[in-house]
Amino acid sequence: MKDQFSMLKDELDYTVQQNILEYWVNNSIDVEHGGFVGQVDYRNIKNMRSNKGIVLNSRILWTFSLAYKKLKKEDFRVLADRAYDYVNENFIDKNEGGVYWELNYLGKPINKKKQIYAQAFTIYAFTEYYKISKNKHALQRAMELFHLIEDKSFDKVNKGYIEAFSEDWSTLKDMRLSTKDANQEKTMNTHLHILEAYTNLYSVWPDDFLREQQVNLIKLFLDKFINAEDHLNLFFTNTWENQSSIISYGHDIECAWLLTEAAEMIEHPELIKKTHEVSVRIAQKFIAEAIDKDGGIINERDTENGHVDNEKHWWQHAEALVGLMNAHTISQDENFVPHIFSIWEFIKKNLIDHQNGEWFWMAKTENISENPQEKIGFWKCPYHNSRACFEMMDRIEALNIPQLKK
């Protein structure tokens, strides 16, 4: 097993540098209009007039900030600087505060709604950029967005965060992140990425109020979002009535490790114990239910009608590596290990584009002869797969395998 982990670390290192990061260096820059191209299809054809979303741009900023911190390659710092400047100059609402959801290809706002999910990702990105740049303005922006979320979105009566607002922070009728989501006031997905953002912010700004709100968030996951079957409930009313019967296996396993990271960052002994226990249970349930007969990870299952969505998307597989490795480290249960390696083999065989770079949106199946989704797009970013590679390399290094110590 030690040899396997050593080989895996080398393969992850090659993948993140040569397959993922270099792809973005070579294909994502918009030299005509500034910032980054909004869409590149699976054949690597750029759409230079595609709209530009804050999700893509904040995730590029986070990714290349982390990449520079880890690898110290100047190309990565250049992209991080470019992403920071573009987000700061174009997405920030200088009148009402917060970040816009979407710009046109020229960098002009066309959807000015204030999605809390987007505010959280911008905190995540600005914080990571501050770590490499020590740019006090970046940290100040992150702190301002934190206070804005707490002022505008936090529900002081029922706890949790309201999903979205209009440009001026008034009530918004349609709060959905995308058309596939339920139009509910509170969602697991947004809370998960607030948790992630606050964890990163706390690492550079250990503020007492931030810690208090992080404790509240962790408890919400333990009490509201994670159900008795060790799955996540996805959509809620303002007063926490569950409105969903869908199991999202990728979110289950992503939450499992982000939750433990959050508790460990704030050094809360009781919550560390509880999150460790629940993350192992989630990972065990994931192994029992989420892995399909072809070795890939099922997208979703509806517990109400039994329908199973068998599409194999790139991001669930990336998060599964970290979630299962996290459970293995906590529990020392060797039963997690074979699944880590088998999922990596599925990724190498079915998701990594070894010819043109990056990962396909989804794996080919007998029903999908091509990969018609984009390589770069509103939701297709370098965040899940690059983060998984870096997280896995760090966690393998922490195993103290002798041949990895050079």
267: left (phi over 0), alpha (psi -120 to 50) or beta: left
- The total number of residues written for the chain in this structure: 406
- pLDDT score recorded for residue 403: 52
214-232, pLDDT tens digit by residue? 999 999 999 999 999 999 9
Interatomic CA distance for residues 225 and 218, integer angstroms: 10
Say if CB 298 and CB 292 are below 8 A apart: yes
User: What band does 405 get if pLDDT is binned at 50, 70 and 90?
Assistant: very low
Phi, psi of 121 (to 5 degrees): -65, -30
- pLDDT score recorded for residue 3: 86
Interatomic CA distance for residues 380 and 315, integer angstroms: 9
Q: Which of 383, 382, 314, 312 is nearest to 352 (CA)?
A: 314
Token representation of residue 269: 């002994």
149-161, pLDDT tens digit by residue? 999 999 999 999 9
User: What band does 365 get if pLDDT is binned at 50, 70 and 90?
Assistant: low
Token representation of residue 115: 């999605």
Domain over 2-404 is classified CATH 1.50.10.10: yes
Interatomic CA distance for residues 116 and 387, integer angstroms: 22
* Overall pTM surpassing 0.95 (yes/no): yes
- pLDDT score recorded for residue 370: 65
Tell me the helices (H) and strands (E) count for the chain, helix number first: 13, 12
Interatomic CA distance for residues 130 and 275, integer angstroms: 28
Name the residue with tokens 């068998």. Answer: 310
User: What band does 400 get if pLDDT is binned at 50, 70 and 90?
Assistant: confident
Interatomic CA distance for residues 335 and 402, integer angstroms: 22
Interatomic CA distance for residues 385 and 399, integer angstroms: 21
What proportion of the chain, given as a percentage, has pLDDT over 70?
96
User: What band does 243 get if pLDDT is binned at 50, 70 and 90?
Assistant: very high
274-301, pLDDT tens digit by residue? 999 999 999 999 999 999 999 999 999 9
Mean pLDDT rounded to a whole number for the chain: 96
304-315, pLDDT tens digit by residue? 999 999 999 999
Phi, psi of 190 (to 5 degrees): -65, -40
What residues pair up with 302 in beta bridges, in sequence order? Answer: 246
Interatomic CA distance for residues 49 and 385, integer angstroms: 26
Q: 76: helix, coil or strand? A: helix
